[in-house]
Amino acid sequence: MEHVDVVIVGAGLSGIGAARHLQDRLPDLSFALLEARDAIGGTWDLFRYPGVRSDSDMQTLGYRFKPWTDEKALADGPSILEYVRETARETGVDRHIRFNHKVTDAAWADGRWTLTIEGQEPLSCSFLYVCGGYYRYDEGYLPSFADREAFTGEIIHPQFWPEDFDYTGKRIVVIGSGATAVTIVPAMADKAAHVTMLQRSPTYILSLPSKDKLALKLRKLLGDRRGYQVTRWKNVAVSTLVYQLSQRFPTLMRKVIRKGVIARVPPGYPVDTHFNPTYGPWDQRLCLVPDGDLFRALRKEQASIVTDRVERFTPTGIQLASGQHLEADVIVTATGLNLQAFGGIALTVDGQPVHLPDHLAYKGMMLSDVPNFVFTIGYTNASWTLKADLVAEFTCRVLAHMREGGYTTCVPVDDGGVPRKPLLDFEAGYVQRSLHLFPQAGAKAPWRLGMNYAQDVVTLRHGKLDDGALRFTA
């Protein structure tokens, strides 16, 4: 059986970054990067729906070590995919990728992990690092709609968008109100006869410029690398401020967001019907629209919003609970994701199955009583890559410490007495549906999942490793 020092699972944004950090900081370690699909890119290769783009700025979604040099701060999916692939090529990480390697089981015994790989020979490693995200690639979330089979048009989930699908002149109904829906609606509006966003409840929506003028000026003044770093910290500070204000002064922030919407929708538009969520700002993720493209589609009457509940599908559209009927040729179910932990890999330690809810997450990146194992879960209130980069740096610190001290095993140990709480303190439906499948967090450090980048920089990049919970043995 082949053995490598480290196996990284997932060749998406996080996995490519993790491999680069490992290769740069610990070049003498052997590693393999396993990808279940046949392409680099993860999310950015999977999603092909119209207008697919980032929902946060690229100065923070991009890697710390590789400046984002495109003019657009809110970038389209193909540009992000090329950025990830370019990183893999430039660093030579692409030579370590093994495509069509789907890990189904990982068993720890005798000081190493043995990986069962679908259709391939088993592989063993000393350290397992999972960067597979937290949602299922093979299925999206689809509520049970009454009489769904009665609809005679096409029903499409954005996660599985048909290649070269022509919707010119068609009536489109997009079910949903999250980031995917507010992206698809304006992107389809120019070619479709009309696009209706059907939402069960409203979402907070902010308009931001697609180009960050200050970032462009800083690049000219300081150069690509320094300008990128300054902009990155500027955006971290701004997003942290918005999040903190939203949590502490929700009424004020609700008014500020509402005022921004009123300034962009047509006069007399029913803002309180379609843009007045029942929850507080940042209890769920805010949706960003570049250059107000959704509001522009509303003003041009190319798109509309309906806030109502689906009663049933009909042969020609959707019957709503209010009695209204929406005519449609195409229904797009932007109804969310199905989460799964660690790419669905079944873990066992010394012959005992790892039941994830029984374990605590150490610093949101390791599991109590599971040796030599790291995973990446990003921020819910900021760009995913900010946390992914820090997890990669921390992992490299752990591996270097093990090598220098002659240790073969590191494992977080929960001595008990730590009050437990959900891993993700987030009200979004796709999170709440699946939290019972994930490990839990603790009410105090180091068992909390940090949601503050500046604090995590101190803790993960500079904090001590021997903190009493993370134990190293030879």
Whole-model pTM: value is: 0.94
DSSP state of 426: -
Q: Do the bridges between strand 346-349 and strand 352-353 make them parallel or antiparallel, or are there none, so unpaired? A: antiparallel
**CA–CA dist 153, 427 (Å, integer):** 33
What is the C-alpha R_g of the chain?
Answer: 23
For the residues 168-192, what does the mean pLDDT come to?
Answer: 97
* Helix or strand holding residue 294 (H, E): helix 293-299
**CA-based torsion, 4, 10, 15, 16: positive or negative:** positive
User: How many Cα neighbours within 13 Å face the side chain of 382?
Assistant: 27
Ramachandran region, residue 76 (left: φ > 0; alpha: ψ -120 to 50; beta: rest): beta
Distances (CA, A) of 363 to 97, 114, 207, 260: 28, 25, 33, 37
Structure tokens at 196: 């209706």
Q: What is the DSSP string of 68-128?
A: --SSBSS-BHHHHHHHHHHHHHHHTGGGGEESS--EEEEEEETTEEEEEETTS--EEEEEE
Q: What is the DSSP string of 75-88?
A: -BHHHHHHHHHHHH
pLDDT tens figures, 197-253? 999 999 999 999 999 999 999 999 999 999 999 999 999 999 999 999 999 999 999
Residue ranges, CATH 3.50.50.60, the chain: 2-138+338-473, 142-335
pLDDT at 422: 83
Query: What percent of the chain has pLDDT above 70?
Result: 99
Which range in 53-57, 227-231, 418-422 is most confidently predicted, on average pLDDT?
227-231
Q: Which residue type does 197 have? A: M
pLDDT at 437: 82
Q: How far apart are the first and last CA of the chain?
A: 23
For the residues 459-470, what does the mean pLDDT come to?
Answer: 91
Residues 185, 361: contact at Cβ < 8 Å? no
Q: Which residue type does 406 have? A: G
pLDDT tens figures, 112-141? 999 999 999 999 999 999 998 888 888 888
Q: Which CATH class is domain 2-138+338-473?
A: alpha beta
pLDDT at 136: 86
For the residues 15-27, what does the mean pLDDT come to?
Answer: 97
Please tell me whether residue 178 adopts helix, strand or coil conformation: coil
User: Binning pLDDT at 50, 70 and 90, where does residue 22 land?
Assistant: very high
Which residues 6+ apart lie within 8 Å of 165 measured at CB? 156
Structure tokens at 236: 């971290």
pLDDT at 283: 85
For the residues 307-323, what does the mean pLDDT come to?
Answer: 98
**CA–CA dist 338, 323 (Å, integer):** 30
* CATH placement of domain 142-335: 3.50.50.60
pLDDT tens figures, 248-282? 999 999 999 999 999 999 999 999 999 999 999 98
**CA–CA dist 116, 276 (Å, integer):** 49
pLDDT at 427: 66
User: Binning pLDDT at 50, 70 and 90, where does residue 417 land?
Assistant: confident
**CA–CA dist 165, 182 (Å, integer):** 19
pLDDT at 284: 82
Residues 293, 261: contact at Cβ < 8 Å? no
**CA–CA dist 107, 102 (Å, integer):** 15
User: How many Cα neighbours within 13 Å face the side chain of 283?
Assistant: 15
Examine the pLDDT at 40 and tell me if it is beyond 90. yes
pLDDT tens figures, 331-377? 999 998 888 889 899 999 999 999 999 999 999 999 999 999 999 99
Examine the pLDDT at 454 and tell me if it is beyond 80. yes
pLDDT, mean over the chain: 94
292 φ/ψ angles, rounded to the nearest 5 degrees = 65, 35
pLDDT at 372: 98
**CA–CA dist 314, 235 (Å, integer):** 46
**CA–CA dist 104, 116 (Å, integer):** 6
